[in-house]
Structure 1
Amino acid sequence: MRASVELRQISFFIAVSETGSFRQAANRLNVGQSAISRSIQKLEDALGVSLFERRPNGARLTNAGGRFATNVRAILESLDTAIEAARAAGVAENGQLKIGIIASLSRGPSRRVISRFLEVHGDVDLQIIETDRSELLTLLSHRRMDAIVAAGEPEVDDRDALLLAREHIFLAVPSDHRWAGRELLSWDDVREATFVVSSIEPGPQIHDYLVRKLADLGRRPRLTRHRLGREGIMNLVGLGLGVSLVAEHWCGVSYPNVTFVRVGEENETVPFSLIWRPENDNPALRRFISLARIEAKRNGALS
């Protein structure tokens, strides 16, 4: 049987648990201390447990109260998310578009498409989400996201995809390294290098790419993993702790003591694709795809 609990009681409970005092909670909420006490008592009666140990110098959560506080906070966070989503939907009178990326927007095709979209459809509520590939694909499958821009060829499955561009590969090296003055490095040149890679996206993809390339030379890459984002990895390069691979669109950002040099064969590139669900009839998505097709044609990725 579900206990009869009011949102007002929950807010009073959280205030007391955070301040450790009925008096301080009353001051924070600008209500009488007696109102706080009565509300908490009703909440405890409804739940059938004591939530606080009352003491002359304050109130301390009981074991049951501590567990209740943890669960209630999770519920309130979900409620806040739902409220924000409803507000966003209400504000986005002309549509909403959610794009997931595993890429930099400092330059390149993704930036150009998004920039053009904002110019033409500035009345659409555009949200950009950056996280790992698995989570992005999950959000896409459940229609919590409209499209994803990520490395890889378009795959034929239950999703639609468009090859957006093929980009050259660059090696981030310390600016005082002898390679910094080169125009193009071969894989044989860098076979003995120490590579710093991230353990989060797109680090695992970079790791796999290095393994494939250097395995052809009979070498296993020397790698150090760090739980850092792209900026953190670039700072490690600038400090001389190693080198790192980036796609061309990452070269739009400057980092202290870091220089970007082309690496690989003359025509070696990595593909970047736009992925979406074919049944998604969001008009804002269709307009975004149209602009992406124009960009793909400009890059020679779409005939």
Structure 2
Amino acid sequence: MAEHIETLQLVSFLAVAETGSFRKASARLSIGQSAVSRRVQRLEDLLGVSLFERRPSGARLTAAGSCFASRTRALLDDLDAAVDTARSAGVAGNGHLRIGLIASLSRGALRGVFESFLAAHDDVDLCLIESDRSELLTLLNHRRIDAVYAAGEPDNTVGDGLTVDEEGLFLAVQADGPLASREHLEWEDVAQATFVVSAREPGPEIHDYIIRRVSDLGRAATVRRHRLGREGIMTLVGLGLGVSLVADHWRGVQYPNVAFIPIGAEDERIPFSLAWRAENDNPALRRFLSLARVEAKKAASSPFAASQSPDLSP
């Protein structure tokens, strides 16, 4: 089925979804409204589902249409990135590096790797992709990205791996709230708190980790998932709507009325690792991995390096 779906059908579908109207979509695309309708109708016929509820006031996504829209946006964004990368490589011939991330580059070991890499190889076309773990591993296995950086120890079933750093845990709290005056928190101190996490990665992993840690105390954790990114979750914390768990490297960005307080035992640390395919002979990747190994040695020799790390896998 997928081979019969055309890019123009997807573009027209998204235009209708974003404007809420076939008429407005046709104006955006500078084509006739009948052409937009035919493309969307053909797409619905191929999928076997209705993507829109058609009303005199406009077009509203069905449940199937809403799910399809989110995936289609990611697909077209990925296609655009692939085209840009191909054009860049064809013109400049300077190489490319594509890294999938479930982490922040605001501070920490990985930021150090990127700083060193960019200083030495500013001619390499660098592309960074944030998505959920499943999609990133799929892209990695199909060689559409070169490496993935995420929480957890290296997974040998994925390919080669390297633990780059192990980071301490912090609780994001309301800066003018009672918890902000503490120098350190134990899990017992927040067992009754409301935790807010993202429905996106790494939110589901953080959710499971909180559940386990609070359950160890014989309590049921209160965790609220929101369809918000990192900034949105921190906004909720600043407004006093809950607290949130973060690793050290997330603290490189300041948020209004949010403070970060260390939580848990000193050896309660989260490993972060790179994964890549052994057969990938991209020279840019090999240079990047060399710098990552240097950074990993620095982190391993740090006085804060831990002998034990909590499992933050889902």
Bucket of the pairwise TM-score, normalised by the shorter protein: 0.7 to 0.9
Q: What residue number does 2:169 align with?
A: 169
Mapped to 2, the partners of 1:174 and 1:152 lie a distance apart of 28
**1:268-292 CA deviation, whole Å, 9 max, x = no partner?**
1000001100110101000000000
Q: What residue number does 1:223 align with?
A: 223
Where do residues 38-187 of structure 1 align in structure 2 (5 Å cutoff)?
60=34, 64=38, 66-68=40-42, 83-187=83-187
Distance change >3 Å, CA 91–CA 247, structure 1 → 2: farther
**1:117-149 CA deviation, whole Å, 9 max, x = no partner?**
000111111111111111000000000000011
Q: CA deviation at 1:105?
A: 0.7
Whether the 8 Å contact between 1:168 and 1:248 is mirrored in structure 2 is yes
- Secondary structure of 1:240's counterpart equals coil
Q: CA deviation at 1:296?
A: 0.1
Aligned length: 256
Mapped to 2, the partners of 1:238 and 1:230 lie a distance apart of 13
Whether the 8 Å contact between 1:166 and 1:301 is mirrored in structure 2 is no
Unaligned runs of 5+ residues in structure 1 are 1-6, 8-13, 30-51, 53-58
Where do residues 195-206 of structure 1 align in structure 2 (5 Å cutoff)?
195-206=195-206
Whether the 8 Å contact between 1:164 and 1:301 is mirrored in structure 2 is no
Distance change >3 Å, CA 176–CA 95, structure 1 → 2: same
Mapped to 2, the partners of 1:176 and 1:184 lie a distance apart of 16
**1:88-129 CA deviation, whole Å, 9 max, x = no partner?**
222441210000110011100111101110001111111111
Mapped to 2, the partners of 1:112 and 1:260 lie a distance apart of 22
Q: CA deviation at 1:86?
A: 2.7
Q: CA deviation at 1:156?
A: 2.1
Unaligned runs of 5+ residues in structure 2 are 1-7, 9-14, 16-21, 46-71, 306-314
Mapped to 2, the partners of 1:260 and 1:246 lie a distance apart of 8
Q: What residue number does 1:38 align with?
A: none
**Does residue 264 in structure 1 map to residue 264 in structure 2?**
yes
Q: What residue number does 2:11 align with?
A: none
Mapped to 2, the partners of 1:198 and 1:274 lie a distance apart of 23
Whether the 8 Å contact between 1:197 and 1:233 is mirrored in structure 2 is yes
Q: CA deviation at 1:238?
A: 0.3
Mapped to 1, the partners of 2:44 and 2:86 lie a distance apart of 25
Q: What residue number does 1:251 align with?
A: 251
Q: What residue number does 1:292 align with?
A: 292
Q: CA deviation at 1:79?
A: 7.7
Mapped to 2, the partners of 1:177 and 1:118 lie a distance apart of 40
TM-score (norm 2): 0.73
Q: CA deviation at 1:220?
A: 1.5
- Secondary structure of 1:173's counterpart equals strand
Matched to 1:67, the amino acid is Q
Mapped to 1, the partners of 2:198 and 2:167 lie a distance apart of 20
**1:21-60 CA deviation, whole Å, 9 max, x = no partner?**
9xx99xx79xxxxxxxxxxxxxxxxxxxxxx8xxxxxx74
Whether the 8 Å contact between 1:171 and 1:245 is mirrored in structure 2 is yes
Mapped to 2, the partners of 1:258 and 1:115 lie a distance apart of 27
Matched to 2:255, the amino acid is Y
Distance change >3 Å, CA 63–CA 96, structure 1 → 2: closer
- Secondary structure of 1:171's counterpart equals strand
- Identity fraction in percent: 57
Mapped to 1, the partners of 2:241 and 2:196 lie a distance apart of 7
Distance change >3 Å, CA 82–CA 160, structure 1 → 2: closer
Distance change >3 Å, CA 224–CA 286, structure 1 → 2: same
Whether the 8 Å contact between 1:92 and 1:124 is mirrored in structure 2 is no
After TM superposition, the structure 1 stretch with the greater mean CA deviation from structure 2, 293-302 or 219-228, is 293-302
Matched to 1:292, the amino acid is A
> Who wins on radius of gyration, i.e. which is larger?
1
Matched to 2:41, the amino acid is R
